[in-house]
Amino acid sequence: MNKTWRIGVIGLGARAESFSRKLDGDHPRAKLLAVCDLDADRLEKYCEWCGHGDVRRFCDPAEFFAQKDMDAVIITTPEFAHKESALAAIAAGKHFYLEKAMATNSEDCRAIIRAHRKSKVTAYLGFNMRWNPIFRRFKEIVDSGVAGQIVHVAGLEQLHQTHGAAFMRRFHRHSERSGGLLNTKCAHDLDMLGWLVGHKRRVVKVASFGGTNVFLPQKGPKGRGTHCGRCPEAIRRACPYVDRAGFVFPIDGKEPMHKTREKDVYGGDLCVYHDDKDLVDNQTVILEWNHGVRGNFNMQLFQNKGRRAYSVWGEKALVEMDTSWGEVRVTHSTSGEVQIHAIKPGQGGHGGADRFLIDSFLDAIETGRAPDSDLSAGLAATLLAEKADESRRTGKVIEIRKDEYL
């Protein structure tokens, strides 16, 4: 098919930037038709920063979704708006790419799935980690059966401290708006564990511990300001968590460009030690699948290097990867022999994953085939995050019924 797909992007923040720029150029299969953000100031700053001269601009989502010549939309609103954006796309008959995490809670995920089942549009869930070359190779090696029967899987997400701090001052810091840190940040990882084990398998039991050990008011320096911009220079200079560009819009700018409206919701450059948040800053999760595989996942926010590390223990071998190694290692159980699979690092955002996303979305639209990264995978990740947080709060092991997966 030689059609040029006309795409709209809604929710113009850090994440949108990596999509709209690619579409507003010489993309061979698609062009950027329209953009939308509730905030007029953000809309203008965004278009100026990204050089979107002739692109249609909207502050009203209803007007944006009503564009008849728009074929598909990329939804990069925050989690608290995912349900309304996805339902609006379905109602308007637009194919849609929905950023992870799918929603703030599993019930909203189910509402999106139910509406989608009655429609003819293609829905794609943005689990871009699946496109990262090192994860793809890792999955291929696991799928080759080299480990024999899989017994245990483990994942780690460790964030650079600036990255970790960004979640403590923005919309994410209220779990009713983000679904909690495990949902908004680690939906990727919960999806990855399911992807490795096989999505036909279901987690049936979850337990979790977690808490806030660092981003607490009593840990902050005396005399600090409520916001980085209002902090005494000496404290600001010494603070490892000061607001910096790189993880907020604009991603490649020198200074973060905060929104002018709803500062109370979005946080701006709020101090990470403020006490209005309910987010944990470290968490550990243990899981059991319905075929007896067990696993665990850990989340850490305070390091100098951001990395992810995954291991799959099988009866015959251990398969391991670490994004900082650039290789996958297989250690055979009986012989102890180690095989190294070097992986060429990918180019572009998220370890090279982002460059495949638009094409993969367009392939799904053109073929009409359900994408591998679909809404049911989105529900599974949000459901796990929700149940893990329930366990963390109640101290109980939580069982997940089959019908909760829809």
Ligand X SMILES: NC(=O)c1ccc[n+]([C@@H]2O[C@H](COP(=O)([O-])OP(=O)(O)OC[C@H]3O[C@@H](n4cnc5c(N)ncnc54)[C@H](O)[C@@H]3O)[C@@H](O)[C@H]2O)c1
The sign one gets for the Cα dihedral 364, 365, 369, 375 is: positive
DSSP code, position 154: E
Pick between residue 61 and residue 314 the one whose CB is nearest to ligand X: 61
Using CB under 6 A as the binding rule, whether residue 173 contacts ligand X is answered as no
User: Does an H or E element contain 184, and which?
Assistant: helix 181-184
Of the ranges 6-14, 334-342, 364-372, 393-401, which one interacts with ligand X (CB under 6 A)?
A: 6-14
Pick between residue 61 and residue 164 the one whose CB is nearest to ligand X: 61
Given 9, 12, 47, 279, the residue binding ligand X (CB under 6 A): 12
User: Helices marked H in 58-151 — which ranges?
Assistant: 61-65, 82-91, 106-117, 133-143
Pick between residue 323 and residue 330 the one whose CB is nearest to ligand X: 323
Given 67, 76, 158, 175, the residue binding ligand X (CB under 6 A): 76
Tell me how far, at minimum, the Cβ of 44 lies from ligand X, in Å: 12
Tell me how far, at minimum, the Cβ of 326 lies from ligand X, in Å: 20
Using CB under 6 A as the binding rule, whether residue 126 contacts ligand X is answered as yes
Of the ranges 71-79, 133-141, 155-163, 208-216, which one interacts with ligand X (CB under 6 A)?
A: 71-79
Using CB under 6 A as the binding rule, whether residue 130 contacts ligand X is answered as no
Tell me how far, at minimum, the Cβ of 92 lies from ligand X, in Å: 14
Of the ranges 96-104, 217-225, 286-294, 329-337, which one interacts with ligand X (CB under 6 A)?
A: 96-104
Using CB under 6 A as the binding rule, whether residue 136 contacts ligand X is answered as no
Using CB under 6 A as the binding rule, whether residue 65 contacts ligand X is answered as no
Using CB under 6 A as the binding rule, whether residue 189 contacts ligand X is answered as no
Given 8, 78, 268, 295, the residue binding ligand X (CB under 6 A): 78
DSSP code, position 270: B
Using CB under 6 A as the binding rule, whether residue 109 contacts ligand X is answered as no
Using CB under 6 A as the binding rule, whether residue 67 contacts ligand X is answered as no
- Pairing mode, if any, of strands 30-36 and 56-58? parallel
Using CB under 6 A as the binding rule, whether residue 184 contacts ligand X is answered as yes
User: Contact at 8 Å (CB) between 84 and 59?
Assistant: no
Burial of 1 (0-12, 13-18, 19+ CB in 10 A): exposed
Instruction: Give the DSSP letter string of 124-190.
Output: EEE-GGGGSHHHHHHHHHHHTTTT-SEEEEEEEEEEEHHHHHHHHHSGGGSHHHHS-HHHHTTHHHH
Burial of 39 (0-12, 13-18, 19+ CB in 10 A): middle
Pick between residue 128 and residue 391 the one whose CB is nearest to ligand X: 128
Pick between residue 259 and residue 308 the one whose CB is nearest to ligand X: 259
- What does the alpha-carbon distance between residue 92 and residue 142 come to, in Å, rounded to a whole number? 41
State phi, psi for 208 to the nearest 5 degrees.
-155, 145
Using CB under 6 A as the binding rule, whether residue 77 contacts ligand X is answered as yes
User: Helices marked H in 330-374 — which ranges?
Assistant: 354-367
- What does the alpha-carbon distance between residue 74 and residue 11 come to, in Å, rounded to a whole number? 9
Given 30, 35, 37, 311, the residue binding ligand X (CB under 6 A): 37
Using CB under 6 A as the binding rule, whether residue 39 contacts ligand X is answered as yes
User: What six digits make up the tokens of 406?
Assistant: 């829809």
User: Contact at 8 Å (CB) between 171 and 248?
Assistant: no
Tell me how far, at minimum, the Cβ of 137 lies from ligand X, in Å: 19
- Pairing mode, if any, of strands 95-99 and 282-289? unpaired
Using CB under 6 A as the binding rule, whether residue 269 contacts ligand X is answered as no
User: Does an H or E element contain 7, and which?
Assistant: strand 5-10
User: Contact at 8 Å (CB) between 218 and 211?
Assistant: no
User: What six digits make up the tokens of 31?
Assistant: 């062009």
Pick between residue 76 and residue 147 the one whose CB is nearest to ligand X: 76
73: β partners: 8, 96
Of the ranges 79-87, 148-156, 302-310, 367-375, which one interacts with ligand X (CB under 6 A)?
A: 79-87
Tell me how far, at minimum, the Cβ of 209 lies from ligand X, in Å: 24
Pick between residue 220 and residue 378 the one whose CB is nearest to ligand X: 378
Using CB under 6 A as the binding rule, whether residue 45 contacts ligand X is answered as no
Q: 156 by DSSP, 3-state: which?
A: strand
Using CB under 6 A as the binding rule, whether residue 279 contacts ligand X is answered as no
Per CB under 6 A, residues contacting ligand X are 10-16, 36-39, 42, 61, 76-79, 81, 84, 99-101, 126, 128, 171, 184, 248-249, 259, 350
